[in-house]
Structure 1
Amino acid sequence: MDEIDRQIVALMRENARRSFQDIGGRVALSAPAVKRRVDRLEADGVLRGYAAIVDHAAMGWPTHAFVALYCEGRMSAAEVRAAVAGHAEVAAAYTVAGEASAILHVFARDTGHLEEALERIRDTPGIRRTQTQVVLSALFERPVA
């Protein structure tokens, strides 16, 4: 990956719907040259897909929290994933080093909905407890560029 590839990725992270011509104009390449690079970045696994970025608050789920998940024994990453993936409120889950087994990013309509989601998560076999940090405000969110 060279500097032009990095610039292309950064531009696509800002707006994945940019045309190859627009990107090319910003990195001094033709649209076909940009397409070839994007195809290679996809084949190399750098670009894994394209998605709409949803504003959870605008969708009616403005409350969010980071939840440390503590599991019984040695739950594998696949078991932790299976335990939390079915909960619509869980936007992301990460295994971590340290006391917790995983960290979850959870969205909800309000604190009551958050509490109900946490109770459902804790009712899952193998989940021992959770520790929740409710987000008061997002100072900034930065995509990796």
Structure 2
Amino acid sequence: MTQVDDIDRQLLRMLHRDGRSTYSELAPEVGLSVAAVKRRVDRLRETGVITGFTVQVDHTKLGRGIEAFVELSVAGSTPVGDIVRTAYEVPEAQAVFTISGDPDALVHVRVRDIGHLQQVIDGLRRNGHVTGTKTLMVLGSWTKDS
């Protein structure tokens, strides 16, 4: 496990909010020089704490404002790789989580409207491995800063 202190955690929170923040913007917030902030961020990247930088997208502006989780139950002998492939064959799938217990997986999807959601669910159900689904609509969400 990599050693991280309070300043590292503060830098991670700030970068989580805005991954495009410059070292000169971060430095005064944590009370360090620009060079010291760069060294810390470089160390966090080299040790794998920071695995990459990403962009946050407003999916409603792309016509995919409805978000849901679809629980998948699959045949008992289905390999995990097949479960993941089943979900990723659906373009609307954002992520797949294989889980213990019942159900076997959660598929996070984004769709245009309820009719589109029904089409996605029907597509998942048509797969030979899926024995049942249950859909959970997302009403709101928040993300905890690191």
TM over 0.5: yes
Residue 115 (structure 2) pairs with residue 97 (structure 1): no
**For 1:52-108, what per-residue CA distance to the aligned partner results, in whole angstroms no more than 9, with x for missing partners?**
111111211111111111111133332221111132211121112221111111110
Runs in 1 of length 4+ with deviation above 3 angstroms?
A: none
Where in structure 1 are there 5+ consecutive unaligned residues? none
Q: Which runs of 5+ in 2 are unaligned?
A: none
AA partner of residue 67 (structure 1):
V
Match of 1:128 in 2: 131
Quick one: which of 50, 73, 76 aligns to 1:47? Answer: 50
Shift of 1:26: 0.4
Deviations 1:13-52 (A, max 9, x none): 0000000111111001111211111111112111111111
Distance 2:31 2:79 in 1: 47
Maintained 8 Å contact 2:17/2:145: no
Equivalence map 1:61-72=2 (5 Å): 61-72=64-75
More displaced, 43-52 or 7-16?
A: 43-52
Count of residues in correspondence between the two structures = 143
- Give the conservation status (yes or no) of the 8 Å contact 1:13–1:143: no
Contact 1:61 1:109 in 2 (8 A): yes
Q: Which moved more, 1:83-92 or 1:14-23?
A: 83-92
Q: Quote the RMSD (CA, aligned, Å).
A: 1.4
Q: Say whether residues 1:74 and 2:69 are aligned partners.
A: no
Paired residue for 2:33? 30
Matched-pair contact (CA < 8 Å) for 1:68–1:130: yes
Amino acid at match of 1:141: W
- Identity of aligned pairs, percent? 32
Q: Which residue of 1 aligns with 2:144?
A: 143
Question: Is residue 66–residue 103 contact of structure 1 (8 Å, CA) maintained in 2?
Answer: yes
Aligned runs of 1:110-129 on 2, under 5 Å?
A: 110-129=113-132
Normalised TM-score (structure 2)? 0.91
